[in-house]
Amino acid sequence: MSTPTPARERILSAATRRFYAEGVRAVSADRLIADAEVSKVTFYRHFRSKDDLVVAYLERVAAAERAEVERHVAAEAPADVLRWYARFLGETTCSPGFRGCPFINAAAEHADPGHPARVAVDAHRRWLHGQASALVAALGAAEPDALAERLLMLRDGAMVAGYVGQAPDQVADALLAAGEAVVRAAIPSAA
């Protein structure tokens, strides 16, 4: 990974804004070079290709989410972390400028499972699944991986609901109710 520099940061910040708002494929390297006010040489010194920049963008988004989730995992009981995450998603998915999950969006734009963007998406997805599985295992789930997958499906649906225009409290309340129902069905003692 390149050493952080002001130019690299400007490129990555421009990419983060543009890729999320417009889509990865829709944004050209030339547009990012202009936005970051760098030369092509500087751009390619920091990112060998646009794909490298896409991966750096996804890793940046993943690192921010990981830090926030891990902060809650370290300080709260598993059920409280799951409730927090549902409320957090409700607020996030309905905020101005929300365009869906950056990882789902990137996966939709890159069909090849071997593409570097898909590899980054899959890594974050495995991490999310692992976090959810560990939380529900701590609650007593007999099949934590299967339950984690169901919760991730609810997460994905909440992100779509937020993107298409439901109010934040509706998304958060619906996700929380659905998540609690799924957990209670799998772990009756969690009621």
Residue 60 in this model has a pLDDT that exceeds 80: yes
> What's the CATH architecture for 1-48?
Orthogonal Bundle (1.10)
CB atoms within 10 A of CB 26: 11
CB atoms within 10 A of CB 66: 16
Q: Averaged over 95-102, what is the pLDDT?
A: 86
Where are the chain's structural domains? Answer: 1-48, 51-190
Confidence of residue 191 (pLDDT cuts 50, 70, 90): low
Of 118, 117, 143, 122, the residue nearest 132 (C-alpha): 143
* The pair of three-digit structure tokens given for residue 150, joined into one six-digit string: 């169901």
The 10s digit of each residue's pLDDT in 35-49 is 999 999 999 999 999
Residue 117 in this model has a pLDDT that exceeds 80: yes
- What local confidence, expressed as pLDDT, does residue 94 receive? 74
Distance CA 158, CA 95 (A): 13
- What local confidence, expressed as pLDDT, does residue 68 receive? 96
* The pair of three-digit structure tokens given for residue 159, joined into one six-digit string: 């992100």
> At 147, which amino acid appears?
L
The 10s digit of each residue's pLDDT in 175-190 is 999 999 999 999 988 7
Query: Exposed, middle or buried, 6 (CB in 10 Å: 0-12/13-18/19+)?
Result: exposed
Pick the CATH number of 51-190 from 1.20.1530.20, 3.40.630.10, 1.10.357.10, 2.120.10.30: 1.10.357.10
Residue 4 in this model has a pLDDT that exceeds 90: no
pTM above 0.85, yes or no: yes
* The pair of three-digit structure tokens given for residue 91, joined into one six-digit string: 């607020």
Residue 166 in this model has a pLDDT that exceeds 80: no
Distance CA 141, CA 188 (A): 9
Q: What average pLDDT is seen over the chain?
A: 92
- What local confidence, expressed as pLDDT, does residue 18 receive? 96
Confidence of residue 98 (pLDDT cuts 50, 70, 90): confident
Residue 92 in this model has a pLDDT that exceeds 60: yes
- What local confidence, expressed as pLDDT, does residue 156 receive? 93
The answer to whether domain 1-48 and domain 51-190 are alike in fold is no
- What local confidence, expressed as pLDDT, does residue 3 receive? 57
